[in-house]
């Protein structure tokens, strides 16, 4: 029994030991596995997991840096930044949001509707995300809040920076900013990864086109959070970089002046330097308050803007399309001369109408102008004369000249809202309307009616390129530090420094590499002289608006673009423009250059439904011209940031 027991024990021990050995081997394998896993996590992939841990641990809030500023030519800020007072709440720090909102409602006047939308927004957000309750408080509201802050648990008064526009005059040229919308994110690539809720982005004008550069680089606040997203401590802060500042060619002073002048009409005015193409002024009327958009526009104000008959939100200077009316006669005459179709000596007898191809074409003057030559025809804007000229010229040649002088294409590259307009010709009509061109349409086109569509800016460019002697200029509204003097500017500087040194047109072109738009500069001069007559000689269409003082004397051409043809009865009754319905009245045009002795600026003024150019547009142009010329010296003295390219 005992021996059995002993041997039993020994044998059992043997079995146990053998099997234990096997288990120990398994243990070794398991240990190796655990070691391997540890090494792979902590040595091979440590970097990956460290970054994942940091991602867990840190949260960043981005904030917008101050937006780049837009200045005028004299470095005055047109679109600047201002300190604003905001109220934020963070739900996780707010014990009772409802109560807080009720209390705030009585303190700073929040509408019930706004409260409802805030509550909705809070529900959608994470509880540590900040919600802006009010983003533009007045100082008195802000100080009131700070006074009662002890009973407003969770409310945070914040001082921030936002856009401000100093006046409404440049609302169209500069544009406006407003809260980013899903549509902005869809349309603009650079906004896709911006991820700053509620940031203001440019919506129209330069604010829109320069948006990316003016946004700057966002700042961020990095803080540590725990697993529940609660802020533990701030880790780092980066204030970001302010966006780029832009200087424009605009003169804020002139902008305000012109805008005020156009206050009571619907229209636009553009002033351009005829040598370097600088746009001194570009206003559209009626204007609107761009500041209304910054913090979200009130529904009523928005609806009013949308339903306004005069379309305040449209920049009429570049997006308004109007038939050029009689202002095109400058080009009709020029084109005919340049193409040797007629000589300047051509005379035509105007009896108030002309019958051509079985159709009667009326002159604006029922009694007719009698026998007129080209100079008089332009001066008095005789339609019959230009019917005859354009009949001989043909639409295609007229169109070629019009395109050469800048019609039918965008003047600037800085505006997505700018329109091209229409310069019709035979091919265009077949392509766009699928119909053949009729000779009658040529006659209408020759006096700027029919299919022709232009913007005020295009006509100011046209006038500028006539006024500077017929040379091509590249209009600009932004001043780039790297811009070089244009060839024309160099020529001008040369001319100013050596008075009396008269250079032939060929020499000018050769020596300064100018781009002439003419074949014979004489033709340009003829047209310019006729424009002089139109303003400064008795019987000229804008004679009543002339400046008598030599330094302000200008030369211009009126125009009125027909909205609706007169019926024979109206024509017979000599119905006055002011007696017909507003929306059926003609648009009034005036284009001019000044001063006549040494042209420097070109202007175009459009008054929608103004009736006639001479009565509605020219008087406005006269005042703007004076204002611009008065500032000329200051402007030429002011460093324009250009470097002489030697």
What residues line the site for another protein (CB under 8 A)?
A: 2-3, 6, 8-9, 11-13, 15-17, 19-20, 23-24, 27, 30-31, 33-35, 37-39, 41-43, 45-46, 48-50, 52-54, 56-57, 224-228, 232
Cβ 44 to another protein shortest distance, Å: 9
Cβ 62 to another protein shortest distance, Å: 22
Rank residues 43 and 538 by Cβ distance to another protein and give the closer one.
43
CA 527 to chain centre: 32
Rank residues 223 and 485 by Cβ distance to another protein and give the closer one.
223
Rank residues 35 and 510 by Cβ distance to another protein and give the closer one.
35
Cβ 234 to another protein shortest distance, Å: 15
Rank residues 12 and 565 by Cβ distance to another protein and give the closer one.
12
CA distance 107 to 457: 49
Rank residues 233 and 637 by Cβ distance to another protein and give the closer one.
233
- Give me 481's structure tokens: 């530090």
Q: What is the DSSP string of 250-281?
A: --HHHHHHHHHHTTTSSEEEEEEETTT-BEEE
Cβ 17 to another protein shortest distance, Å: 8
Cβ 120 to another protein shortest distance, Å: 25
Q: What is the gyration radius of the CA atoms in the chain, in angstroms?
A: 36
Q: Which helix (H) or strand (E) holds 361?
A: strand 359-362
Cβ 14 to another protein shortest distance, Å: 10
CA distance 298 to 324: 37
Cα-Cα-Cα-Cα dihedral sign, residues 67, 68, 74, 78: negative
Rank residues 9 and 583 by Cβ distance to another protein and give the closer one.
9
Cβ 58 to another protein shortest distance, Å: 9
Cβ 42 to another protein shortest distance, Å: 4
Strand partners, 283: 269
Cβ 94 to another protein shortest distance, Å: 22
Rank residues 57 and 626 by Cβ distance to another protein and give the closer one.
57
- Give me 409's structure tokens: 């294409």
Q: What is the DSSP string of 577-621?
A: GGGS-GGGSPEEEEEEEE-SSS--EEEEEEETT-S-IIIIIHHHH
Rank residues 50 and 634 by Cβ distance to another protein and give the closer one.
50
Residue reference for tokens 């009034």: 588
Cβ 197 to another protein shortest distance, Å: 23
Rank residues 10 and 573 by Cβ distance to another protein and give the closer one.
10
| 181-188 contacts, C-beta under 8 A, 24 or more apart | 188/212
Angle at which helices 618-630 and 252-261 pack, to 10 degrees?
160
Rank residues 227 and 502 by Cβ distance to another protein and give the closer one.
227
Assign residue 109 a region (left: φ > 0; alpha: ψ between -120 and 50; beta: otherwise): left
Cβ 93 to another protein shortest distance, Å: 18
CA distance 301 to 291: 12
CA distance 270 to 282: 4
Residue 630, CA distances (Å) to 262, 408, 550, 604 in order? 19, 32, 13, 18
Rank residues 41 and 306 by Cβ distance to another protein and give the closer one.
41
CA distance 97 to 491: 70
- Give me 125's structure tokens: 């957000």
Residue reference for tokens 């391997």: 36
Cβ within 8 Å of residue 584, ≥6 positions away: 563, 564, 609
Q: What are the b/e assignments for 368-390, b being 16+ CB within 10 Å?
A: bbeebbbbbbbbbbbbbbbbbbb
Rank residues 32 and 102 by Cβ distance to another protein and give the closer one.
32
Pick from 149, 177, 173, 145: nearest CA to 161: 177
Residue reference for tokens 């040194």: 501
Rank residues 15 and 645 by Cβ distance to another protein and give the closer one.
15
Strands 279-285 and 77-89: unpaired
Q: What are phi and psi of 170, to 5 degrees?
A: -100, 20
Rank residues 19 and 309 by Cβ distance to another protein and give the closer one.
19
Strand partners, 371: 349
Q: Contact 134/109 with Cβ under 8 angstroms?
A: no
Cβ 16 to another protein shortest distance, Å: 5
Pick from 96, 97, 141: nearest CA to 115: 97
Q: How far apart are the first and last CA of the chain?
A: 124
- Give me 274's structure tokens: 């005829």
Cβ 66 to another protein shortest distance, Å: 34
Pick from 604, 622, 562, 570: nearest CA to 587: 562
Q: What are phi and psi of 443, to 5 degrees?
A: -65, -45
Cβ 296 to another protein shortest distance, Å: 35
Burial (CB count within 10 angstroms: exposed 0-12, middle 13-18, buried 19+), residue 392: middle
Q: What are the b/e assignments for 573-583, b being 16+ CB within 10 Å?
A: eeeebeebeee
Cβ 53 to another protein shortest distance, Å: 4
Rank residues 50 and 98 by Cβ distance to another protein and give the closer one.
50
Rank residues 30 and 116 by Cβ distance to another protein and give the closer one.
30
Cβ 33 to another protein shortest distance, Å: 7
């Amino acid at each position: 029994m005992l021996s059995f027991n002993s041997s039993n024990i020994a044998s059992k021990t043997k079995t146990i030991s053998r099997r234990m050995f096997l288990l120990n081997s398994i243990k070794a394998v398991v240990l190796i596995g655990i070691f391997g896993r540890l090494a792979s996590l902590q040595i091979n992939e440590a970097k990956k997991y460290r970054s994942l841990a940091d991602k867990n641990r840190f949260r960043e809030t981005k904030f917008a840096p101050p937006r780049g500023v837009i200045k005028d030519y004299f470095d005055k800020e047109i679109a600047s930044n201002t300190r604003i007072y905001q109220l934020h709440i963070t739900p996780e720090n707010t014990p009772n949001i409802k109560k807080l909102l009720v209390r705030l409602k009585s303190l700073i006047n929040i509408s019930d509707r706004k409260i409802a939308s805030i509550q909705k927004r809070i529900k959608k957000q994470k509880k540590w995300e900040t919600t802006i309750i009010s983003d533009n408080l007045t100082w008195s509201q802000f100080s009131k809040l700070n006074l009662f802050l002890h009973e407003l648990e969770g409310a945070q008064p914040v001082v921030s920076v936002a856009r401000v526009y100093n006046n409404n005059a440049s609302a169209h040229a500069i544009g406006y900013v407003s809260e980013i919308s899903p549509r902005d994110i869809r349309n603009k690539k650079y906004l896709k990864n911006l991820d700053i809720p509620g940031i203001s982005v440019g919506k129209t004008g330069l604010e829109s086109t320069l948006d990316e550069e003016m946004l700057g680089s966002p700042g961020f606040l990095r803080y540590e959070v725990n697993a529940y997203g609660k802020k533990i401590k701030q880790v780092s802060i980066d204030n970001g970089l302010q966006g780029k500042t832009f200087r424009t060619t605009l003169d804020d002073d002139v902008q305000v002046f012109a805008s005020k002048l156009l206050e009571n009409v619907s229209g636009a005015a553009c002033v351009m330097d005829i040598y370097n193409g600088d746009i001194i002024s570009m206003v559209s009327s009626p204007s609107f308050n761009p500041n209304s958009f910054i913090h979200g526009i009130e529904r009523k104000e928005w609806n009013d803007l949308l339903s306004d008959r005069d379309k305040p939100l449209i920049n009429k200077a570049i997006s308004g399309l109007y038939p050029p009316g009689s202002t095109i006669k400058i080009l009709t005459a020029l084109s005919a001369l340049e193409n040797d179709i007629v000589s300047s000596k051509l005379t035509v007898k105007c009896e108030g109408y002309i019958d051509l191809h079985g159709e009667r074409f009326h002159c604006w003057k029922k009694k007719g102008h009698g026998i007129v030559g080209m100079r008089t025809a332009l001066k008095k804007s005789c339609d019959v004369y230009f019917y005859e000229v354009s009949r001989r010229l043909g639409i295609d040649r007229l169109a070629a000249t019009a395109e050469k002088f800048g019609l039918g294409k965008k003047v600037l590259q800085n505006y997505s809202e700018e329109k091209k307009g229409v310069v019709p010709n035979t091919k265009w009509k077949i392509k766009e309307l699928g119909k053949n061109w009729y000779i009658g349409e040529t006659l209408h086109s020759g006096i700027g009616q029919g299919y022709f569509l232009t913007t005020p800016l295009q006509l100011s460019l046209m006038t500028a390129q006539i006024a500077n002697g017929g040379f091509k200029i590249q209009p600009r509204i932004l001043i780039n530090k790297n811009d070089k003097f244009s060839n024309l500017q160099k020529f001008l500087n040369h001319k100013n420094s050596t008075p009396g040194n008269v250079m032939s047109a060929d020499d000018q072109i050769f020596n300064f590499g100018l781009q002439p738009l003419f074949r014979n500069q004489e033709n340009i001069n003829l047209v310019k002289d006729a424009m002089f007559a139109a303003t400064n000689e008795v019987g000229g269409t804008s004679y009543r608006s002339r400046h008598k003082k030599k330094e302000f004397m200008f030369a211009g051409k009126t125009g009125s673009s027909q909205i609706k043809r007169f019926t024979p009865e109206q024509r017979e009754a000599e119905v006055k423009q002011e007696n017909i319905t507003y929306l059926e009245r003609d648009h009034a045009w005036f284009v001019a250059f000044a001063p006549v002795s040494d042209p420097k600026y070109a202007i175009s003024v459009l008054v929608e439904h103004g009736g006639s150019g001479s009565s509605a547009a020219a008087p406005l142009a006269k005042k703007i011209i004076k204002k611009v010329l008065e500032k000329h010296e200051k402007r030429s003295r002011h460093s324009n940031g250009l470097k002489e390219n030697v």
